């Protein structure tokens, strides 16, 4: 069962709008039947040019789902972001279940451990070398392919993880040519 935290920026979140968000996103609940306390964070924004943006973040113990969509209509943006999240979940579940069958691991939505992911702002750039933000990351074991999948799901350019085979800290990253790189540490 999903619970919702809906807030608005430059828009009043009416009961009708909140009900529509809950109706559209409740379809995702079938994927989280084992997690009764899944909180869905929804941010609705309206810009000066009347463009509507919907951002949805669903933090889970095994992954963080995040999607955003912008259009000229708030309801259309909600529809698009709901569809985008469902595609992400199906894609992730298909890949993990395929890997699970190969390795003999249980279905990822019930028992397979996944990483605690960290969200960072790409827009935070400074001219000096001052550290303006600190994040803590809890690393959980996974293989590099799963780390790439997590990185892609978040839309990030790199991902730090504990390699399940070596127990060392590793980093996967997206190269400029669109392929992926792996950095392993000597420990």
Q: For residue 120, is it left (φ>0), alpha (ψ between -120 and 50) or beta? A: beta
Q: State how far the Cα of 97 lies from the Cα of 26, in Å rounded to an integer.
A: 23
SS3 137: coil
Q: Residues 32-63: pLDDT tens digits?
A: 666 557 788 999 999 888 899 999 988 877 67
pTM exceeding 0.85:
no
Of the candidates 146, 167, 25, the residue with the CA atom closest to the CA atom of residue 82: 25
- The pair phi, psi for residue 70, each rounded to 5°, is -125, 135
State in words which class domain 120-187 has.
alpha beta
Does 121 score more than 50 pLDDT? no
Cα dist from 75 to 6, 14, 27, 103, whole Å: 14, 12, 16, 42
For residues 132-140, average pLDDT: 78
| Contact predicate 34/62, CB 8 Å | no
Q: Check whether 125 has a pLDDT greater than 60.
A: no
Domain boundaries, the chain: 2-103, 120-187
User: Residue 36's pLDDT is what?
Assistant: 59
Range in 54-58, 118-122, 141-145 with the lowest mean pLDDT: 118-122
Q: Give the pair of three-digit tokens for residue 22.
A: 């809950």
CATH tag for 2-103 (out of 3.40.50.1860, 3.90.700.10, 3.30.2130.10, 3.30.160.100): 3.30.160.100
- Look-up of token digits 């395929």: 98
Q: Residue 108 pLDDT > 70, yes or no?
A: no
């Amino acid at each position: 069962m999903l619970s919702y935290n809906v807030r608005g920026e430059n828009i009043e979140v009416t009961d009708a709008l909140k009900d529509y968000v809950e109706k559209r996103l409740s379809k995702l609940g079938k994927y989280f039947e084992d997690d009764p306390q899944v909180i869905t964070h929804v941010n609705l924004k309206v810009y000066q040019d009347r463009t509507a943006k919907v951002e949805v973040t669903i933090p889970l113990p095994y992954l963080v789902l995040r999607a955003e969509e912008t259009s000229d209509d708030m309801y259309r943006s909600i529809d698009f972001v709901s569809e985008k999240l469902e595609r992400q979940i199906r894609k992730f579940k298909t890949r993990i279940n395929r890997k699970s069958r190969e390795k003999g691991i249980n279905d990822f939505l019930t028992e397979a451990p996944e990483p605690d992911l960290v969200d960072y702002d790409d827009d935070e750039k400074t001219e000096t070398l001052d550290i303006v933000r600190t994040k803590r990351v809890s690393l959980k074991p996974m293989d590099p392919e799963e780390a790439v999948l997590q990185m892609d799901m978040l839309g990030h350019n790199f991902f730090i993880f504990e390699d399940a085979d070596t127990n060392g800290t590793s980093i996967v990253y997206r190269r400029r040519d669109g392929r992926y790189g792996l950095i392993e540490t000597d420990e």
